[in-house]
Amino acid sequence: MRFRRTVQIRITAAAFVTLALLALAAAIPLSSTAQQSVGQLSNRLDSSRAQAQSLSGSIGNLNNLISHLDGQISLVQSREAAVSSQLASDRAALAGVERSLARERALLVVLRARLARARMVLSRQLVSSYEGDKPDLVRVVLDANGFTDLLEKIDFLHRAEQQQQTIIQFTRRAKAQADGAAVRLTKLQDSERRITQATALQAAALAGMNTLLQSKQSALQQARAAQQTALAAARARGSQLQSAIARLQAQQAAAQRAAAQQPAPSSAPATPTATAVPGAPASLGPSGGWAIPYAIVLCESGGQNLPPNSAGASGYYQIIPATWSSFGGSGPAAYLASKSEQDAVASRIWNGGAGASNWVCAGIVGIH
């Protein structure tokens, strides 16, 4: 009776501790099952850290691209400033060209009017000369009333001829000036069109380049913001996982201390065995039935026959396929075998404690 009462007290205490562990584990928002092993949480923590590292590298690359774009945008903006200055100079030159163009147009009007008048005068003189008799020197001498009158008539004829030559030369000069003004006017118009087109093309090209760079920079900044948000979420999740692991390890340590403080029954066997827990498989038996210390089992699998994790470890003892095969396990994975076969393989691995290093949780719970 005393043995049964002692065993009952130990089972009740262990059940209370286990239920407390289950309640605390259920309070962790990162676990989707009632019990979450430290190994699984560590795997998720490693995955979260790898994701955060990848995001940090990606954000670094985006920062380099944005910095490079900033340099390109600064270069384009400096070129835009130079073009704006050149554009102001071109506009001033264009204003001067337009003023010269206005003067040349006015001059062309005046010269063409002069040419028209000169041609009219010359035409009238030619008609008058054609309709009137051509002066004859002999007749002029005979009709003259004395020598003085003769000199006056000869001087008149000479001046008339000079005037006619002057009108002809003036007409020629007026025509040449009008033609020159027309040529200059054409050149000024070409210069105005060339300055306007060249400046407009350069300004449009730089504006398009600047718009493209600004759009690309905006897209990169949005991508960086999204990845920074994802990085913050990954880091927050990593912190939660670390806290969950710390809480679970503390709970396991508390369970071990509580189990160690219980007095051993007088009729208990000499070989220590772990205490059974509520919810464990029926094949465990009243003495626990674990091939290795239960604290390690609790840390590794929570006493559950778990499927393979990211490292391939599975079963009650979280044995990887290579170790399972090398110690005589049948089948491709431990969780596919019976509890008794897993116990036998785990016992060979444990080898009286010599193989404790095969379980990471052995070091975590302080068993070496």
What's the CA gap between 141 and 137, in Å, rounded? 6
pLDDT above 80 (res 357): yes
Residue by residue, DSSP assigns 169-220 as: HHHHHHHHHHHHHHHHHHHHHHHHHHHHHHHHHHHHHHHHHHHHHHHHHHHH
**In which band, very low, low, confident or very high, does the pLDDT at 160 lie, cut at 50, 70 and 90?**
confident
Residue keyed to tokens 């020197």 = 137
Name the least confident of 3-7, 63-67, 338-342: 3-7
Going by pLDDT thresholds of 50, 70 and 90, the confidence category of residue 253 is: confident
Confidence band, pLDDT 50/70/90 cuts, at residue 251: confident
Checking if the pLDDT of 164 tops 80, the result is no
Q: Using the Cα atoms of residue 46, residue 50, residue 55 and residue 60 in order, give the sign of their dihedral.
A: positive
How far is the CA of 284 from the CAs of 73, 150, 168, in angstroms?
72, 163, 136
pLDDT at position 169 is 85
Round to whole Å and give the CA distance between 274 and 291: 9
Per-residue pLDDT, averaged over 130-148, amounts to 65
Sign (positive or negative) of CA dihedral 317, 320, 323, 325: positive
Q: Residues 85-102: what's their mean pLDDT?
A: 83
**Cβ partners under 8 Å of residue 289, min gap 6:** 273, 276, 283, 339, 343
φ, ψ of residue 314 in degrees (nearest 5): -150, 175
Residue 209: pLDDT band (50, 70, 90) is confident
The predicted structure's pLDDT at residue 348: 96
The DSSP annotation for 35-74 comes to: ---HHHHHHHHHHHHHHHHHHHHHHHHHHHHHHHHHHHHH
Could you report the per-residue pLDDT of 40-60, keeping only the tens digit for each? Answer: 787 888 877 887 888 888 898
Rounded Cα distance between 115 and 105, Å, is 15
> Which sign does the torsion angle of CA 286, 292, 296, 301 carry?
negative
Question: By percentage, how much of the chain surpasses pLDDT 70?
Answer: 76
283 band by pLDDT with thresholds 50, 70 and 90: very low
C-alpha–C-alpha distance, residues 121 and 163, integer Å: 11
Residue bearing the bigger pLDDT, 136 or 291 = 291
Q: pLDDT at position 19, please?
A: 35
Cα–Cα distance for residue pair 130/277, rounded to 1 Å: 145
The chain-wide mean pLDDT, for the chain, equals 76
Give the model's pLDDT for residue 133.
56
pLDDT of residue 342: 97
pLDDT digits (tens, 9 = 90+) for 294-341: 999 989 998 999 999 988 999 999 999 999 999 999 999 999 999 999
Nearest to 41 by CA among 242, 335, 232, 316: 242
Task: Look at residue 10 in the predicted model and tell me its pLDDT.
Answer: 36
As a whole number of Å, the end-to-end CA separation of the chain is 36
Residue 137 has what pLDDT?
59
Average pLDDT over residues 10-30: 38
Query: Could you give the percent of the chain with pLDDT greater than 90?
Result: 17
pLDDT at 264 over 70: no
The better pLDDT of the pair 27, 114 is held by 114
* CATH domain 269-368 topology: Lysozyme (1.10.530)
The SS3 of residue 274 is: coil
**What predicted TM-score, i.e. pTM, was given to this entire model?**
0.36
What are 221-235's pLDDT values in tens digits? 988 998 889 888 888
Please return the burial class of 242, using the count of CB atoms within 10 Å of its CB with bins 0-12, 13-18 and 19+: middle
Q: Where are the domains of the chain?
A: 64-235, 269-368
**CB-based contact 32:43 (threshold 8 Å):** no
64 burial class (0-12, 13-18, 19+ CB within 10 angstroms)?
exposed
Q: b/e for 282-314, b at 16 or more Cβ within 10 A?
A: eebeeebbbbbbbbbbbbbbbbbbbebbeeebb
